[in-house]
Copies of this chain bind each other. A is one copy, B any other.
């Protein structure tokens, strides 16, 4: 993927316990791969969690946002799984990579 493309940054703090989160998270990771325009993901987690999904257009991001299963997961997220989160829609203007 070459810029410009899009990144959706999701930074979250979970509530206590799993409450069905793990199964849904695995399912979403499967499901998102089938959305046209999905380019990949970076993820890391300690006391908070950062997931960054990459997309080829704002339309692709919106298609994922409107996906019925994903909408239900978003609702559950606000109801049960997240103490707080931040979501940022970004245009990637430049990128570099390094490999030893």
A residues at B contact (CB < 8 Å): 7, 9, 11, 15, 42-50, 52, 78, 82-100
Contact = CB atoms under 8 A, between A and B. Distances in A.
B100 A82 contact: yes
Interface on chain A toward B: helix, strand, loop, or mixed SS? strand
12 contacts: A7-B9, A7-B90, A43-B50, A44-B45, A78-B98, A86-B98, A87-B95, A89-B93, A89-B94, A89-B95, A90-B91, A91-B93
Contacts of A93: 89-91
A15 B100 contact: yes
B95 A92 contact: no
Contacts of A100: 15, 78, 82-84
